[in-house]
Amino acid sequence: MSALGQSDTLRLRSVLLKHVRDAFSDQPTVDAQWKSLGYVARPDFAAAVAEYEAFASLFEQIGAEVHEAPADVGTGLDSVFVRDAAVICDRGAILCRMGKSARDGEPGAMERVLRGVGVPIVGRIGGAGRLEGGDVAWIDERTVAVGRGYRTNGEGIRQLRGLLGSGVDRVVPVPLPHWRGPGDVFHLMSMFSPVDRDLAVVYSPLLPVPFRDLLCQRGYQLVEVPDEEFETMGCNVLAVGPRRCVALEGNPLTRRRLEAAGAEVHVYRGREISTKGGGGPTCLTRPLFRA
């Protein structure tokens, strides 16, 4: 497989998923882990499996090739959020180094999966570097934004810049807010999701002014998420093609605003697989190939 990853909005051709049954394993495993991982409530395993089946079927409907990561003893519940363990660029995959210590085994498991489906490994974040995929979003094919917060640090961004090399013109560090502190799940894509090369969903109250100005200068139309839908992940939207996206149900104002901007929105029920663990559709997917 050749990787074409320097877009978050081109048509999704190939995607990696990890079924919740392989991440959660069973109800006793969920019961043993969910509190220590910071989930807001105990997931119900059977209900989560049913939700995930419906979620995964969306990618069959859009015609994307789906690869499934298997169960791995070195990973836990959070491994269902496959975006975070790797960054995809045109040359292949860059393996991350997780900012949450409980997820340390995920990049190694991701490497095995990616090699198995033919995605070359460009390099990996190491040493004092920390980088999670939810903090990395492509503004265009030569410009990448990287959130600098509790999950991704300056050294991780420096290493990412070096690994991308001449493949990019600009890496834009985006300072993230303290929000609810280091134990919370907050990535760049918690407040910014591109839907087309000139359209993005944003939560402006937390968006740094220089980054918001950059988006406007680049010609982006901004779909503003209302306050009451930020907590329900209204800002976490996965583009499966230009102005075609997948979103968590329960955010009707954001959906209407997206549709008014010409976007086609597919929603899924995610009480067990998204809401309780704080990860929306971008978190649950690792796009491998877009064109």
Express each pLDDT in 241-266 by its tens digit: 999 999 999 999 999 999 999 999 99
Count: domains in the chain: 1
- Render pLDDT for 56-104 as a digit per residue (tens, 0 to 9): 999 999 999 999 999 999 999 999 999 999 999 999 999 999 999 999 9
Radius of gyration of the chain (CA): 17
Residue 123 forms beta bridges with which residues? 94
First to last CA, the chain: 13
The pLDDT confidence band at residue 2, using thresholds 50, 70 and 90, is: very low
CB 117, CB 88: distance < 8 Å: no
Whether residue 290 is predicted with pLDDT greater than 60 in this model: the reply is yes
Residue 135 placed within a domain = yes
Q: How confident is the model at residue 116 (pLDDT cuts 50, 70, 90)?
A: very high
160-169, 183-192, 211-220, 274-283: which has the minimum mean pLDDT?
183-192
Any domain includes 170: yes
Task: Determine the structural domain holding residue 275 and report its residue range.
Answer: 12-290
Q: Are 146 and 157 in contact (CB under 8 A)?
A: yes
**Measured distance CA(52)–CA(19) in Å, rounded:** 7
In a domain, residue 85? The reply is yes
Confidence at residue 4, expressed as pLDDT on a 0 to 100 scale: 67
Tell me, what CATH number does 70's domain have? 3.75.10.10
Q: Coil, helix or strand for 177?
A: coil
pLDDT value at position 1?
46
Classify residue 179 as exposed, middle or buried by CB count within 10 Å of its CB (0-12, 13-18, 19+): middle
In a domain, 211, yes or no: yes
Task: Tell me the whole-structure pTM to 2 decimals.
Answer: 0.96
- Please check whether residue 249 lies inside any domain of the structure: yes
C-alpha separations of 12 from 46, 62, 91, 110, 163 in Å: 29, 8, 17, 19, 24
